[in-house]
Structures are given as structure tokens and as C-alpha cells.
Structure 1
């Protein structure tokens, strides 16, 4: 009988919500204690046929178990049955998962057990990966929309400034108010002193600054007309800028966390090649064989004794 070796890996499953990188970035804590549904999910993944077929192909267990070639129904059933019989995944009393694989090759047993833990972890992470990709798409769509709206509004602000000659609402307002007051004061002084030439010049300057058809680039009438529009565009631009910065931050965070692969399992003990065989227990076989032989001998001797007694009784009866 060949020696059989066992290798065991021990790990705690975690709640996928607590390993979501988005929550960890926001300050969430990684909870190592798995719920009953987390334990059941991990065990179900480990015992599933796709996982078994993956490891069978990866370690070429068709050849190792000597069951035939891949693709043959008999070989497929035989290798799956052999693999399943050598695998044991249980939930122990400490709420941990014990994954044990046994084989005649102790190194292979350890490698299969460790690889199986990695596959379980990967599949467990995939359960939320597609949803997170969908969320990332929403972040990207929102960021692109806000970026487009921000650029369009910025162009509207630039066009409004050029159209109305407004480049600084508060500064230009103070400047024009001061200029109007100074021009009107100078005009009154020129008219009072009888300086008609100076008065005419000041009147033209005041008209250019305040009249609707004034030739000044910075004109009070256009300033009043454009102030409301520019205020509206500026307020929207500021709002879009704040939203865009937030959307960009959320998108970058989601993208980075999606690329991060945070393990959904907390590995307590990696599987190592066994230092001694788990079966067969030869001394137990020897003792069992001795007891079985003793019991069989007693039964045979008893039957022979009964048979001989019966023969003697028949011989006595015939003699009479």
C-alpha cells in the first residue's frame, strides 16, 4: 500500500463588503471574522466542479491518477471522483476554514492545497468585481459630462467678457463709478467756468462711457447688460468646477481601487509538505489483521469442533 500524505491550509473568509477598496480608502476597517454565509460561500466555491477541473488541468492529474486521457467520459469521471475523494474542506469550531488535500506525493498535495486557496480567493473577489466595474463606468460617464459642461461654460464666460468688455466685475464697477463721478464733476466745472471746449470734450467722454452706443470698450451700459449674464455663467462655472474636481477624485479613486487586488481571505496557515504519512497506519493494520485472524480461527475451530461432535453422535447412533 502506498503512503498517503495530507497538507492543510487554514484561513478565515471575510465579508466582501469590508474588503471593498472603496470603503477602505474612506476609512473602513477590514473585518476578519466571516459570517456564516461567507463560510458557506467559500466552501461552495472550493467544492465546485469548475474549480476542480481547473486544478486537474493545471496539475495534469489525469496522468498522475493514471485514469486516461482528457476528453474521455470515463477518464473525466474517474479523475473528478479521485480529486473529490482527496479533498476535504470543513468549517472548524473556531470559525476558520480547514482545506486539506491528500496524495501519495507530499509536495503535490501541498501545491494543490495552496493553489486551491488562491483560486477560491480569486473567485470570491470576482463576485463584486463586475459591479465595481459598472460603478467605475458611471464615475467615468459623470466625469466626462462635467468636463464637457465645464469647458462649454468656460467658453461662454470668455465670450461674455469679450462681448460686454467685462474682465473684473467688482474692479470695473468701482472704476466706472469713479470715472462717471469725476467726468460729471469736471463737466459741471467746465460749464460753470464757460470753458466750452473742455466741456464738450468731457461730455463726449461721459457719453462714450455711459451711452448705449458709446464707443468705449469698457462701457457702463454694456457693463450693466452683461453683469447678470456673467454672474450667472460665473456661478455655474464655479459649481461645475467643484463638481468636476470631486468627480475626478472619485473616478481616480475608483479606478485605482479596482486595480488593487485585496485578498478576501486571511491566510492563517499555508499548506506545507507533510513530514509523515497520514495513511496507511501499518501498526493498526497489523493489529487488525491479527484480531481478524484470531476471530476467524476461533470461528473455524468452533465449527470444526461442532462438526466433529456431530459426527461422533451419528457414529454412536449407528452402533446402537
Structure 2
């Protein structure tokens, strides 16, 4: 006996006409399963607690080093007003997702108690963090802004949490940056103060030399030499001795005076150079300029965002209809296949 092989026409189980016949044949089962699924979905959706969604929209700033935006150059001043790009938006999301912000929000709003998580539960912290992640979302939009979305049964609480997270972004980012900025400021400040101390020491040395009559070395030597020559010509030995003593003192300390004066000029130039670095480092270490542009603060929503009951009912009914339809098609084909095998065996 030859193996049974369905023809091409037999392999095509349905066309538009026999599908209609198939649907009429099984209409009761299809309608009943669809209605039952819709009713069950409607009942379940009514049992789901309603949640409201509050949203904050903000942009990151472009500048990280505030000093460069404020005092470095004229072109850089515009940087403080420039919106951030994709990289800054991603950095913002990472900070918003940080443990510090999460733990602060959980503690401030007592979310463990609000979400009814038993602190004695073995995995209470894991459950708390999962609940946090399911209700609080961060998303970068196509416009490179960042959205903070908070869902909760209490619309006022949802808005307060969203706005607080936005506020915590500044302090958290500044804290991260300040750890590095303070170290940099200490290094620059140490060098700056050291230069100032050296300048003070050189100035004290010059004052001591001035008290000894040391001033402009070359000019003093020239004038004293001329004066000694005149007094020698006059035969005034006493005046010559006084002038010679002054000349000896100037000769003794003149080179030192000149050296200290040159060193002081060099130190003053270094101090001027470090003054800008010192000012920049101080601004970066202690400034509290906002690190974001808030486009829209959250407000207590008056319409629920979850669940979308009609969508749950429609999707459930459609899924039940399709699943039932597939099962019936499989059942009919299986029955036809059994009959053909039985017929071929005769």
C-alpha cells in the first residue's frame, strides 16, 4: 500500500468560504470562550488597585566644571545655559538610579510601610527595591530630556516623590563631583598659600635690607662712588670713611638684594597665574549651582494611569479568541487526518 500523501488541494485547509463555514460551526464555543475571558479579565482588572502617575521632565546641563563656564573665557560663559546632550542625559539617569537617591526616598516617605512590606521578612530589602523599581521609572526621551515617572495609589505622594527625586539630583551630583573637586582645591590651595608665604618671606628680607640702606644697588653704588671721589678731592677723610662704609655695606648685601628682588618678581608672576586656578578650584569645590533645567514639575494627577481596564479586557478576549480558534483548527485537522488514515487503511 502506498503511503498516504495529501494533495496540494488537501493541504490547503481553509479558504474564505470554508473558513466562514468553520466559524459558523464553532461559533458558540468561540463566542462563549471570548465572553468568559472578557468577563474574567474585567473582574480581575477591578481587583487591581488603581495607581496614579506623576511625571517630572528635566534636561541635564552641559557644563560640569562651573568655573570654566563662569570665569575662564567669554565663550565659555554661554556653556552654563546650554542643555546637555545624549551623554549627559545618560549620566543623569545613572545618578537618578543611584542607591543614595533610592534609599533617601524610601526613608523619607516610609515606603516600606506604605507598600506594606514586612521588615521581618527574610528578603524584605529585595522586595522593597523591586517595588521601588516597578513604581519609579526613568526614561530618556527623543528630545534628550529625562522623565521621572512615579506610580502610586496616592496621587499626592506620587507627585511628591517625583519632585523630591528631581531635587535630590543636584545634591547627589554635587556630592559626587565635590569629592574630587575638594581634593583638587586642597592641592591648588596648598601651592597658592606656599607661594604667598615665600613672597612674605622675600618681602621681609627686603625690608631688613632696606633698613640697612640697601635699595637700588647699581644706582647707589654709582652715586656713592661719585660722592667718595668728590670728598677725596676735598680732602674730607671723615666723610670718605662714612661713604666707604656705606659702599661696603651695599657691596656686601647688594647682590643678595638683587637676587631677592628677582625672586620676588618671579613669585608674584606665579601667584598671578595660580590666582585663576585657585579661584576656579574654589568655585568647583564650593559652588551650588543647579545641575539641571526643570521643564515640568510633577503635580497630583486626577486620572488614574493604571490599570487600563478596557485594554486588559480587549487583549484578554482577543487572546482567548485566537487561542480557541487555533485549538479548534488543530482539532479539526487532526480529526480529518484520522479519518483519512482510517480510509486509506481499508
Query: What TM bracket, shorter-length normalisation?
Result: 0.7 to 0.9
Aligned 1:207-286 pairs, distance under 5 A: 207-210=241-244, 214=245, 219-248=246-275, 250-282=277-309
Distance 1:243 1:33, change over 3 A: same
- Aligned residues of 2:181 and 2:284 also touching (Cα < 8 A): no
CA contact (8 A) 1:53 1:80 kept: no
CA contact (8 A) 1:5 1:109 kept: yes
Are the structure 2 counterparts of residues 35 and 73 from structure 1 closer, same or farther at C-alpha, using a change threshold of 3 Å?
farther
- 2:254 and 2:157 mapped to 1: Cα distance? 79
1:19–1:262 Cα contact (<8 Å) kept: no
Asked if 2 retains the 8 angstrom alpha-carbon contact of 1:43 and 1:90, the reply is yes
Q: CA deviation at 1:32?
A: 3.5
Question: Is 1:115 the counterpart of 2:164 in the alignment?
Answer: yes
Is 1:87 the equivalent of 2:87?
no
Q: Structure 1: which 5+ residue stretches go unaligned?
A: 188-198, 303-320
Query: Secondary structure at the residue paired with 2:149?
Result: strand
Instruction: Tell me the distance in 2 between the aligned counterparts of 1:76 and 1:168.
Output: 78
Residue 140 of structure 1 is matched in structure 2 by 189
Secondary structure, aligned partner of 2:80? coil
Are 1:21 and 2:66 an aligned pair? yes
Name the structure 2 match of 1:9: 56
Task: Compute the displacement of 1:170 (Å).
Answer: 6.1
CA–CA separation in structure 1 for the residues paired with 2:172 and 2:254: 59
Q: Which residue of structure 1 aligns with residue 24 of structure 2? A: none
Aligned mates of 1:45, 1:237 — CA distance in 2: 48
Superposition deviation, residue 251 in structure 1: 2.6
RMSD: 3.1
Instruction: Give the corresponding residue for 1:305.
Output: none
The 1:50/1:221 distance shift into structure 2, 3 A limit, reads closer
Secondary structure, counterpart of 1:278 in structure 2: strand
1:46 Cα deviation after fit: 2.6
Q: For 1:221 and 1:240, locate their aligned partners in 2 and report how far apart those are by CA, in whole Å.
A: 29
Aligned pairs, number: 272
Take 1:288 and 1:257, find their aligned partners in 2: how far apart are those partners?
A: 54
SS at match of 2:214: coil
Does the residue aligned with 1:101 lie in a helix, a strand or coil? strand
Counterpart position of 1:130: 179
1:166 corresponding residue in structure 2? 214
TM-score normalised by structure 2 residue count: 0.68
- Give, in whole Å, the separation in 2 of the partners of 1:203 and 1:174: 19
Q: Give TM-score scaled by structure 1 length.
A: 0.73
Unaligned runs of 5+ in 2: 1-45, 329-346
